């Protein structure tokens, strides 16, 4: 792409929380910015599980990246995918065959769920990282309920009405709570042969408690709340094997039509692009200023970076970390920062379901309804764009009052009969 | 399925406007009703083109069929697909292998777009009948714009920015107007190298005027409004051939990345299932009471039926016809009707775009802003469920005020990088 003038050209790869925060800081500054993302939209990932459970529509939590920057003439958005970085000539290679020269490069390419080397599990236990993932899970859950309604074989019916979520982190906990509400409550009035009791929701966690990043007391409260919702919580239960319609742990074999993976993530291959040192999860080990050792003009931020926190452990892969790192990188480029990056932790939130959440903000530890309200407000607040805030608020109020899930659509089914019909034959069979 | 008692069992196949109207009439009456549809949701088809042009989300105009009848215990909803009818034993066969016994059968299986025997055109010029169709078209249109933004080859860029809609009926006209607004106005601020002038939208009609079902004066007005929006209207232009990225008529070859088919429909194969007489479009010729000659307990309604209007011509395939026929069939089953079915025509509406529509209600012929307001009110009014009405109203107000399209998401792309990453190699390349 030709750059109009000689101002420094900043290429940002990935329009997640980190890349977006960096771009916003650089908007209308004396630099040229090109954002490269393989999707045309930014996704507000913390609410993705609500799309997967039919509470929200994709457009409520995702919006076109270029609309966010329509007012910033120094920012260009390119729908493309990074395939490599040529650090000698300062160019990034793109899937389209094009390449982009950069003066500064910010890699914010995020992470994908990881099956810890068991990628064969992927088709049987999809993860939740993109809108497509969410719609696929929504389809599985709703389709299982539909089939159960008419299934006469008891065993098969049980399998259809068993939903397993693997991983007791915030995503897994929120997913389990939402699936329980959907499968056990929201839909019960609509079905004739499914009662709330028919459905089983099982949360499987390898460690000895759920929400390990939270204080123990809150973990307990979260577990109790989940059990109130009818979720069976299995702690200390590492998964040995996953196949089509079943999950195997040391103790038991669970037969379930719907299995969701929320157990672990793997950083995008930035380390390979840069031949940089990385940790086991593939996160690039960056310097205190988030630059890659040996590459003075390349930053790696967000889920793709391994940055030690005050306690020495790597910072968690959450939105606030990515945002603060994005702003830091932008400020560094603008010459406003020289001191090392330091993460300001505002605390931890997770919701379990209707009127239930846990909040850990240092001295302030909350659970229950107040925590849930705070969680709602915080998430609406951080949504990008007034429209999304409005849409999510209205949908939440609607769901809260009616107990309904408003986006219960099974789409993407390619049915034989959806192909155009051939000309029917003239009457000849009678 | 076992029926609890000996009340007559009515099987309704298809939950479009006709089937839904029949079911609503039979709700909480002394009959057992089973609705069979191959999708779990009812789609408000008149607004499908707004999903295709990113103005609305699928969930705004579609809702689960079983939610509509959650309060009616005599109605069962089955997600399945009809494969045949055994009129001897009064059973319908379903794709799942199950079968249903009926005392009364209402076939409301609708129509699909027809390529007049040129089914090879289908992949190059998709039609608009289902949510999936709409999302596919939305994806094509948005992707074409994204690619055009970075395309350097002038010819290729032209092709990407040329949008052709085939068929000058209401769907084609509304589609053309909406695409013009999306491609020429809504997105212009977001792109750096696309200006409204770059995009071409062409509406191709074989007949000598668009909206042939409307009075000539309104056809003219509609054409003028479309041209104001920048749509090139080609009348008397039958299509000779369609291929990947091009369309050929007698006069010219149009190179266009995006081609949408809105030219004709073909009834679902009810005539084959029943071995019944049908017209060229596959519509079953039914009696004055909508029953199939020779089958005293089978009704065919909506787009699948050929019913002569007062002028002798078959009634058009529009929602009001299907609804009135559905109610008639239900009333007939309930023993409340004996006189023949007669269609009460309340008039014809079509919108061209922002603030522009045409209305033909006998003596009342309207066009322009007032007509557009009436069109909006009518469509919100006929939407099923308060939530959809609220969602559509809010989205329309939003789009009207901001000129934005709120659902501009490109989804469904299976990108290589969306697969889970393999464990990255330890550093070895340097």
Query: Which range (A155-164, A278-287, B88-97, B307-316) has the least confidence?
Result: B307-316
- Average pLDDT of the residues in B76-105: 96
Give the start-end residues of each E strand in A195-347.
200-204, 231-234, 239-243, 246-249, 253-255, 258-261, 265-267, 284-285, 291-292, 295-300, 305-306
Test B39 with A271 for CB contact under 8 angstroms: no
pLDDT of B210 above 90 = yes
Chain segment B115-136, per-residue pLDDT in tens: 989 999 999 999 999 999 999 9
Test A112 with B418 for CB contact under 8 angstroms: yes
Test B267 with A421 for CB contact under 8 angstroms: yes
pLDDT of A401 above 90 = no
Place of tokens 């219960």: A408
CA gap B258, B141 in Å, rounded: 7
CA B99-B100-B104 angle, to 5 degrees, is 145
Contacts of A274 in chain B (CB under 8 A): none
In B, residues 203-242, which contact A (CB 8 Å cutoff)? none
Helix (H) or strand (E) holding B64, with range, is strand B62-64
pLDDT of B415 above 60 = no
pLDDT of A15 above 80 = yes
CA gap A257, A244 in Å, rounded: 8
In A, residues 59-78, which contact B (CB 8 Å cutoff)? 59-60, 62-64, 66-67, 70-71, 73, 76-78
* pLDDT tier, B195 (very low <50, low <70, confident <90, very high otherwise): confident
For an interface test with A, the pick among B36, B56, B420, B422 (most A C-beta atoms closer than 10 Å) comes out as B420
* pLDDT tier, B4 (very low <50, low <70, confident <90, very high otherwise): low
Test A67 with B282 for CB contact under 8 angstroms: no
The pLDDT, as a whole number, for residue B74 is 96
* pLDDT tier, A428 (very low <50, low <70, confident <90, very high otherwise): very low
Chain segment B335-370, per-residue pLDDT in tens: 998 899 999 998 888 998 888 999 998 888 988 899
Test B419 with A146 for CB contact under 8 angstroms: no
Helix (H) or strand (E) holding A139, with range, is helix A131-150
For an interface test with A, the pick among B93, B192, B275, B421 (most A C-beta atoms closer than 10 Å) comes out as B421
In B, residues 366-405, which contact A (CB 8 Å cutoff)? 387, 390-391, 394, 398, 404
CA gap A263, A259 in Å, rounded: 12
Higher local confidence (pLDDT), A366 or A299: A299
Query: Which range (A221-230, A337-346, A392-401, B138-147) has the least confidence?
Result: A392-401
Residues 6 or more apart in contact with residue B8 via CB below 8 angstroms: B31, B32, B103, B104, B333
DSSP A101-137: E-SEEEE---EEE--TT-GGGTTTS---SSHHHHHHH
Residue from B81, B149, B151, B174 carrying the catalytic annotation: B174
The pLDDT, as a whole number, for residue B386 is 77
- The nearest alpha carbon in chain B to A130 belongs to B418
- Average pLDDT of the residues in B202-218: 95
The pLDDT, as a whole number, for residue B5 is 60
The pLDDT, as a whole number, for residue A421 is 31
The pLDDT, as a whole number, for residue A189 is 83
| 3-state secondary structure at position B146 | helix
pLDDT of A319 above 60 = yes
CA gap B317, B109 in Å, rounded: 12
CB count within 10 Å of CB A162 equals 25
Test B417 with A127 for CB contact under 8 angstroms: no
Task: Please give the DSSP secondary-structure letter assigned to residue B13.
Answer: E
Chain segment A120-134, per-residue pLDDT in tens: 999 999 999 999 999
Chain segment A230-251, per-residue pLDDT in tens: 999 999 999 999 999 999 998 8
CA distance B364 to chain A (A): 37
B81 lies within 8 A of chain A by CB: yes
Chain segment A165-222, per-residue pLDDT in tens: 999 999 999 999 999 999 887 777 889 888 888 899 999 999 999 999 899 999 999 9
CA gap A219, B151 in Å, rounded: 52
| 3-state secondary structure at position B75 | strand
- End-to-end CA distance of chain A: give it in Å, rounded: 68
Bridge partner residues of A358 (DSSP): A350, A367
| 3-state secondary structure at position B176 | helix
The pLDDT, as a whole number, for residue A5 is 60
Task: Please give the DSSP secondary-structure letter assigned to residue A423.
Answer: P
Test B39 with A416 for CB contact under 8 angstroms: no
User: What share of chain A in percent tops pLDDT 90?
Assistant: 74
- The nearest alpha carbon in chain B to A67 belongs to B190
User: What share of chain B in percent tops pLDDT 70?
Assistant: 95
Test B414 with A390 for CB contact under 8 angstroms: no
CA B267-B272-B277 angle, to 5 degrees, is 80
Task: Please give the DSSP secondary-structure letter assigned to residue B120.
Answer: G
pLDDT of A334 above 60 = yes
- End-to-end CA distance of chain B: give it in Å, rounded: 68
pLDDT of B310 above 60 = yes
pLDDT of B413 above 80 = no
| Cβ pair B84, B92 in contact under 8 A | yes
* pLDDT tier, A264 (very low <50, low <70, confident <90, very high otherwise): confident
Burial class (CB in 10 A: 0-12, 13-18, 19+), B149: buried
pLDDT of B412 above 80 = no
Q: Is the dihedral of CA B113, B114, B120, B124 positive or negative?
A: negative
Q: Tokens standing for B86?
A: 């055994």
CA gap A13, A7 in Å, rounded: 19
Test A413 with B132 for CB contact under 8 angstroms: yes
- The nearest alpha carbon in chain B to A412 belongs to B132
Q: Tokens standing for B277?
A: 């007489």
- Average pLDDT of the residues in A254-264: 95
Alpha-carbon dihedral of residues A82, A84, A87, A91, nearest 10 degrees?
A: -50
B190 → closest Cβ in A64, A127, A271: A64
| 3-state secondary structure at position B220 | helix
Test B96 with A150 for CB contact under 8 angstroms: yes
Catalytic residue numbers of A? 174
In A, residues 131-190, which contact B (CB 8 Å cutoff)? 131-132, 135, 142-143, 146-147, 149-150, 189-190
């Amino acid at each position: 792409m030709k750059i109009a003038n000689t101002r420094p050209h900043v290429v940002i790869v990935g329009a997640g929380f980190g890349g977006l925060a960096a771009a916003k800081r650089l908007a209308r500054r004396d630099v040229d910015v090109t954002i490269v993302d393989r999707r045309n939209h930014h996704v507000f990932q913390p609410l993705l599980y609500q799309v997967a459970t039919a509470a929200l529509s994709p457009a409520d939590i995702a919006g076109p990246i270029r609309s966010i920057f329509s007012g910033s003439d120094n920012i260009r958005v390119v729908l493309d995918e990074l395939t490599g970085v040529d650090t000698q000539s300062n160019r990034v290679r793109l899937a389209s065959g094009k390449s982009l020269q950069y003066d500064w490069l910010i890699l914010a390419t995020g992470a994908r769920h990881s099956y810890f080397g068991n990628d064969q599990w992927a088709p049987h236990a999809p993860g939740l990282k993109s809108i497509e993932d969410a719609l696929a899970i929504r389809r599985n859950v709703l389709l299982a309920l539909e089939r159960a309604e008419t299934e006469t074989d008891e065993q098969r019916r049980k399998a259809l009405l068993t939903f397993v979520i693997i991983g007791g982190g915030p995503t897994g906990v929120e997913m389990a709570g939402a699936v329980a509400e959907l499968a056990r409550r929201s839909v019960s009035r609509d079905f004739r042969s499914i009662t709330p009791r028919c459905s089983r929701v099982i949360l499987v966690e390898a460690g000895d408690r759920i929400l390990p990043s939270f204080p123990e007391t809150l973990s307990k409260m979260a577990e109790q709340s989940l059990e109130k919702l009818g979720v069976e919580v299995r702690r200390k239960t590492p998964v040995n094997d996953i196949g089509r319609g079943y999950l195997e742990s040391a103790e038991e074999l669970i037969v379930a039509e719907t299995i969701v993976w929320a157990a672990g993530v793997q950083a995008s291959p930035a380390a390979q692009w840069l031949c940089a040192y990385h940790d086991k999860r593939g996160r690039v080990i960056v310097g205190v200023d988030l630059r890659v050792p040996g590459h003075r003009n390349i930053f790696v931020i967000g889920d793709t970076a391994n940055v030690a926190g005050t306690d020495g452990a790597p910072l968690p892969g959450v939105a606030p970390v990515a945002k603060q790192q994005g702003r830091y990188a932008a400020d560094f480029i603008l010459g406003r920062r020289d001191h090392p990056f330091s993460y300001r932790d505002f605390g931890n939130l997770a919701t379990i379901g209707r009127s239930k959440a846990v909040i850990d903000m240092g001295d302030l530890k909350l659970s229950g309804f107040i925590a849930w309200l705070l969680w709602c407000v915080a998430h609406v607040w951080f949504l990008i764009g007034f429209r999304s805030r409005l849409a999510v608020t209205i949908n939440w109020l609607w769901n809260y009052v009616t107990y309904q899930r408003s986006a219960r659509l099974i789409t993407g089914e390619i049915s034989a009969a959806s192909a155009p019909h051939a000309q029917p034959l003239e009457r000849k069979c009678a």
